[in-house]
Amino acid sequence: MYSQIIPLSWCLHIVLCFYLIRPIRIILYRALLTLIPCFILIFIGCHNLPYLHMSSILTISLYWMITIRLIHLIIFSPDETNSFRIYALKFLWFFLPIIPCQSKNSISFYLILASIKILLIHWIFQWLRICEPNDSYGRLAMFYIYICTGTFLNDIQIVLVRLITLNKYSLVEFNNYPFLSKSIREFWGRRYNRLVGILLKEAIFDPIRRLPYSSAIVGALASFIMSGILHVHVAVAGFGTSSPLSPFLFFLLQGIACCIEVMCPFTPPKLLGILLTHGFLLITAPLYVGLFTRAGPEFYEFNKPLLFDATWFPKLPVPNFCPK
């Protein structure tokens, strides 16, 4: 019963925001009437979530994404959409981010890509599970591969949508080859976790950038601060961490790095840019990603990849050493 009340309450709040709160002309009133119920629902909905479960992390993320979208459509841009259908689709987009199909890659490509990713994620998962939890750079790099290969479900969904719509539509690709990022801005803005990246751009970056006396730098910092708050909650409610400072500092540093890149008078060559980008990400990763790499065996027991226990699916041999 309780598990049904929270989602229904979110739906009710979304509807009330559109019909009752959005028409209010005073932004302070809109903000209070929008955010106070959001924070109450986040607190109640995320209270006593089981630690180390990906379902808990996804729940926390979803509630914050809804809140961020409401900040966008109710507080910052109440006149952006006057149609409830379009308004509702902005929230349904979290679950099914359908876009016109513009990919040059074939359906077969995504099937092969998904198969390779499943093979790799099983391999990395086994390797991570047998190695001692720590935040060494070797283990952080392993986990980076793990989360990148974890997008195989997105590839499978793309295949299904393209088959059903006869290649007219596809889905937003969760990642766009993040290892090719030549800058921190490119990594966060166009390549990694594009779902949240698009949301933050639409909901935080663009509205704040357009404010009087504001700028793209202010909008970028605000976006990373919002992302930091979201991930602080993940750290506290999803991992039970006692100090929220490190996760917040991680995203704040990413925002500062992006601002420095904007002001930098030169652009490094492609290869150097890739090395500098991933070097910075690796150095700062323990602040947040360390939550995952320091997690004990329970984390891997709770979050087995799809088909991991399938005996018919091939498995790569696991090395008998652990990266340092």
Structural domains counted in the chain: 1
Q: Which tens digit of pLDDT belongs to each residue from 50-63? A: 999 999 999 999 99
Q: Is residue 81 part of a domain?
A: yes
Q: Is residue 145 part of a domain?
A: no
Q: Is residue 20 part of a domain?
A: yes
Q: Which tens digit of pLDDT belongs to each residue from 166-221? A: 999 999 999 999 999 999 999 999 999 999 999 999 999 999 999 999 999 999 99
CA–CA separation, 74 and 27 (whole Å) = 9
Q: State yes or no: pLDDT of 315 exceeds 70.
A: yes
Contact between 38 and 71 (Cβ < 8 Å): no
Q: Which tens digit of pLDDT belongs to each residue from 242-300? A: 888 999 999 999 999 999 999 988 889 999 999 999 999 999 999 999 999 999 999 99
Q: Is residue 58 part of a domain?
A: yes
pLDDT of residue 265: 84
Q: Is residue 90 part of a domain?
A: yes
Domain that holds residue 83: 1-95
CA–CA separation, 8 and 14 (whole Å) = 10
Show the tokens assigned to 272: 């150097």
Q: Is residue 252 part of a domain?
A: no
Q: State yes or no: pLDDT of 4 exceeds 90.
A: no
Q: State yes or no: pLDDT of 2 exceeds 80.
A: no
Q: Is residue 59 part of a domain?
A: yes
Q: Which tens digit of pLDDT belongs to each residue from 55-88? A: 999 999 999 999 999 999 999 999 998 899 999 9
CA distances from 251 to 18, 138, 212, 259 (A): 31, 21, 25, 13
Q: Is residue 55 part of a domain?
A: yes
